[in-house]
A and B are shown apart, each in its own frame.
Chain A
Amino acid sequence: MTRFAAELVTALVTLALGAAVVTGSLEYGIGWTEGGPQPGAFPFYVGVLVAAASAGNVLLALRKRRPSAGFVAPEQARRIAAFGLPLLGFVALALLLGFYVATAAYLAGVMRFQGRYRIASCIAVGVGTSAFFFVVLEVWFKVPLLKGPLEAFVRLH
């Protein structure tokens, strides 16, 4: 991916967001009523600002186009994937099984498959961190985290 493509895509995405804000606020009226500006007025002009500035960025990107400028080298893309994919897996797992199980699995998994640590230390760090968060959040600060079937099972039996 070149820098030019990245600039262009980002500017087009923000342009689309600006356009979405504009159309979204038209729904609520952008004019004037007895009680002042209608609810859509402020977001409408903000949307126009975003869209206009994004259009300017598109033009700047086209004008300053330098084909040689890279955005992400293959090696960097690999590193991002190696970090980002387990991260997404963690989020999915947290939504399904709760934070505590997901934290233990994620930490142990990354340590095992990317850090090549011994299985015992992976499990120790994973479970230990999870337990640490449990003590700090649930016990100490009384802030409940998302829990899953395991916690429900432990509590019932």
Chain B
Amino acid sequence: MANVESLLHGFAVALSGYHVLLMVVGVLLGILVGVLPGLGAPNGVTLLLPLTFGMNPVSAIILLTSMYWGALFGGSTTSILFNIPGEPSSVATTFDGYPLARSGKPAQALTLAFLSAAFGALVGVMLITLLSSWAADFALKFGPPEYFAVYFLAFASFVGLGGAAPLKTLVSMGLGLALATVGMDTISGSLRLTFGFDVLVSGVSFLVAVIGLFGLGELLISMEEGLRFAGLKARISPRAVLETIRAMPRYWIALVRGSAIGCWMGITPGGPTAASFMSYGLAKRFSKRGRSFGTGEPEGIVSPETADHAAGTSAMLPMLALGVPGSATSAVMLGGLMIWGLNPGPTLFVDRPDFVWGLIASMYVANIVAVVLVLSTVPIFAAILRVPFAIIGPMIVVVCFIGAYTVAGSKPDLLFAVLFGIAGYMFKKLDYPIAPLVLAMVLGDKAEDAFRQSMIVSQGSLAIFWSNPLVTTLTVIALLLLCWPTIARAMRAFVPVRRPADTFEE
């Protein structure tokens, strides 16, 4: 059990006083960005990233991942108390969370959500503990064609599993890939797609794109809807927590199903949002109490929350083992790894075991820290949302632009952030998915390098992508996922499926 030993070493790293302090800070900041509209996990992590450039990578990743866990919890808080999802991935939590809270049981709704979220996260981390070094060993055998096939698989699964219109996903992803090629070409050294503009020479930062697309775009959407927070008040007593813990085993089916869906969607880059909707949809369809879903049914809170957090944590597995992130937030972290001078992917397990296992161990600790903190601070964060939007809105704007500036200390980045903000607003309104764009921006260079190296090996023949069983399997799965929308439609035409009314439809 080499993994267990490595994990214990990891705990030695993670449990230092400084790191636990970083977890507390990270989780609190995370809950804050999760609670605030317009700030979510991806751009919260992005905003914090420039401040970690001077830190030791292990401390930096612990801070950022803790923020991620905090944001996931914060998003559920607003879903339940305000009926406003703080994060896209907690939309499904509003369906039953808010009704239950409104019916006079806000404490029960919140503890139920947090505890099932923690359960999902724990399953996700255990999966990482068990599988990551095996996956990394496996990935060490990968050459450029296998890598390109894995990237292709990641992109294809967005089209196949993302739930948005396939053509819109393709546009979003293609734009991300194109943006990644702007600036200096690492192989030939030539400047590409700068169109004579000096500001484009250094390329377009994906961090600025995340701030614009997720932060400003989301803010514009929230503003348009005219924010008025009429939230419910909640204070969580230890007795309510104990009662909920006692009630948890009753929902074991929902917990197991949610974890399984979440882990699957996290590893294949379906992401937490798709996972939570899928889990809710399946629970509604197969649960004995399916009829009462939407009216404050506890199972309707447990299902999406478990899947959301299981997906959020397990998204770190492909990021660590393969260098392919499973969600927008882990894409940002992957970018961070490169900025800190680490080389994400299987070699990380060999070169920096302290980093990998410190991170994995910190995920156990930070999720426990997060549950404790979120349970005890709900009233404070709920109070923040009652600050009038005339004050809090502009503050979020200021934070976003300061974040965009600190990425590289460049003035044009502020204008890029505005442009990305407008693009984010239009994309959101017209149901273009944004996560594929970010993922493509982060992975674009690596995918291109892998493609070009494969082509050099094969002297320009695409047949290299089905030249051995491994790469063939990857390519075939990727192609199947890419064509999944068409296949599914064809199957529906032959086998009419009974569709329950108003299931999940993103």
Mark out the residues of chain B between 396 and 455 whose CB falls within 8 Å of any chain A CB in the assembled complex. 397-398, 401-402, 405-406, 409, 411, 414-415, 418, 426-427, 429-430, 432, 448, 451-453, 455
Question: Contacts A37-B460, A137-B406; is A25 near B193 (CB within 8 Å)?
Answer: yes
* Partner-contacting stretch, out of B14-22, B220-228, B336-344, B486-494: B220-228
Q: Is the CB of A146 within 8 A of B394?
A: no
| List of B residues within 8 angstroms of A6 by Cβ | 426, 429-430
Q: Which residue of the partner chain, among A35, A54, A145, contacts B402 with CB atoms under 8 Å?
A: A145
What's the interface size class on A, roughly?
35 or more
| Alpha-carbon distance A87/B51, docked complex (angstroms) | 24
Q: Is the CB of A106 within 8 A of B398?
A: yes
| Alpha-carbon distance A96/B453, docked complex (angstroms) | 46
Q: A91 → chain B, closest Cβ, in Å?
A: 5
- In the complex, which of the residues A32, A88, A133, A146 has the most CB atoms of chain B within 10 Å of its own CB atom? A146
B497 at interface by CB-CB < 8 Å:
no
Question: Contacts A40-B192, A83-B393, A146-B405; is A91 near B170 (CB within 8 Å)?
Answer: no
| List of B residues within 8 angstroms of A137 by Cβ | 402, 406
Q: A11 → chain B, closest Cβ, in Å?
A: 8
| Alpha-carbon distance A39/B452, docked complex (angstroms) | 9
B174 at interface by CB-CB < 8 Å:
yes
Q: Is the CB of A142 within 8 A of B54?
A: yes
Q: Is the CB of A37 within 8 A of B394?
A: no
Q: Is the CB of B170 within 8 A of A53?
A: yes
Residue-wise interface mask of A (73-99) relative to B, using a CB-CB cutoff of 8 A (1 in contact, 0 not): 001100110111011101100110001
Residue-wise interface mask of A (13-26) relative to B, using a CB-CB cutoff of 8 A (1 in contact, 0 not): 01001101100110
B380 at interface by CB-CB < 8 Å:
no
Q: Is the CB of A37 within 8 A of B220?
A: no
Q: B205 → chain A, closest Cβ, in Å?
A: 16
| List of A residues within 8 angstroms of B219 by Cβ | 83
B388 at interface by CB-CB < 8 Å:
yes
Instruction: Closest A residue to B176 by CB, please name it.
Output: A46
Q: Is the CB of A80 within 8 A of B178?
A: no
Q: Which residue of the partner chain, among A46, A72, A75, A87, contacts B181 with CB atoms under 8 Å?
A: A46
A57 at interface by CB-CB < 8 Å:
yes
Instruction: Closest B residue to A142 by CB, please name it.
Output: B54
Chain B contact residues, CB within 8 Å of chain A: 50-51, 54, 165, 167-168, 170-171, 174-175, 177-178, 181, 185, 187-188, 190, 192-193, 195, 216, 219-220, 223-226, 388, 390-391, 393-395, 397-398, 401-402, 405-406, 409, 411, 414-415, 418, 426-427, 429-430, 432, 448, 451-453, 455-456, 460
Q: A116 → chain B, closest Cβ, in Å?
A: 8
| Alpha-carbon distance A88/B418, docked complex (angstroms) | 8
Q: Is the CB of B181 within 8 A of A106?
A: no
Q: Is the CB of A110 within 8 A of B394?
A: yes
| Alpha-carbon distance A88/B170, docked complex (angstroms) | 31
| Alpha-carbon distance A24/B216, docked complex (angstroms) | 29
| List of A residues within 8 angstroms of B429 by Cβ | 6, 71
Q: Which residue of the partner chain, among A7, A21, A87, contacts B178 with CB atoms under 8 Å?
A: A21
| Alpha-carbon distance A25/B455, docked complex (angstroms) | 18
Q: Is the CB of B193 within 8 A of A72?
A: no
Instruction: Closest B residue to A125 by CB, please name it.
Output: B391
| Alpha-carbon distance A120/B171, docked complex (angstroms) | 49
| Alpha-carbon distance A42/B398, docked complex (angstroms) | 37
| List of A residues within 8 angstroms of B225 by Cβ | 76
| List of A residues within 8 angstroms of B220 by Cβ | 80, 83-84
Apart from A3-B430, A36-B460, A83-B223, what are 19 other A-B pairs with CB-CB below 8 Å? A18-B174, A28-B192, A36-B187, A42-B448, A43-B177, A43-B193, A46-B178, A47-B178, A84-B220, A88-B418, A91-B414, A99-B401, A103-B398, A106-B398, A107-B391, A110-B390, A115-B388, A141-B54, A143-B50
Q: Which residue of the partner chain, among B171, B406, B456, contacts A54 with CB atoms under 8 Å?
A: B171
Main secondary structure on A side of the interface with B:
helix
| Alpha-carbon distance A87/B193, docked complex (angstroms) | 29
Q: Which residue of the partner chain, among B165, B175, B224, contacts A72 with CB atoms under 8 Å?
A: B224
| Alpha-carbon distance A95/B415, docked complex (angstroms) | 10
A114 at interface by CB-CB < 8 Å:
yes
Q: Is the CB of B455 within 8 A of A36?
A: yes
A119 at interface by CB-CB < 8 Å:
no
| List of B residues within 8 angstroms of A149 by Cβ | none
Q: Is the CB of A28 within 8 A of B51?
A: no
- In the complex, which of the residues A24, A32, A87, A144 has the most CB atoms of chain B within 10 Å of its own CB atom? A87
Q: B85 → chain A, closest Cβ, in Å?
A: 19
Q: Is the CB of A91 within 8 A of B167?
A: no
Question: Contacts A6-B426, A129-B398; is A145 near B224 (CB within 8 Å)?
Answer: no
| Alpha-carbon distance A10/B174, docked complex (angstroms) | 15
Q: Is the CB of A10 within 8 A of B224?
A: no
| Alpha-carbon distance A3/B426, docked complex (angstroms) | 11
Q: B141 → chain A, closest Cβ, in Å?
A: 23
Q: Is the CB of B181 within 8 A of A42?
A: yes
| List of A residues within 8 angstroms of B168 by Cβ | 53, 57
Q: B176 → chain A, closest Cβ, in Å?
A: 9
Q: Is the CB of A95 within 8 A of B411?
A: yes
Q: Is the CB of B394 within 8 A of A86?
A: yes
Q: B229 → chain A, closest Cβ, in Å?
A: 15
Q: Is the CB of A90 within 8 A of B398?
A: yes
Q: Is the CB of B223 within 8 A of A80?
A: yes
| Alpha-carbon distance A71/B390, docked complex (angstroms) | 25
Give the 6 A-B CB pairs with smallest separation, nearest first. Answer: A115-B390, A50-B174, A53-B170, A36-B456, A83-B223, A39-B188
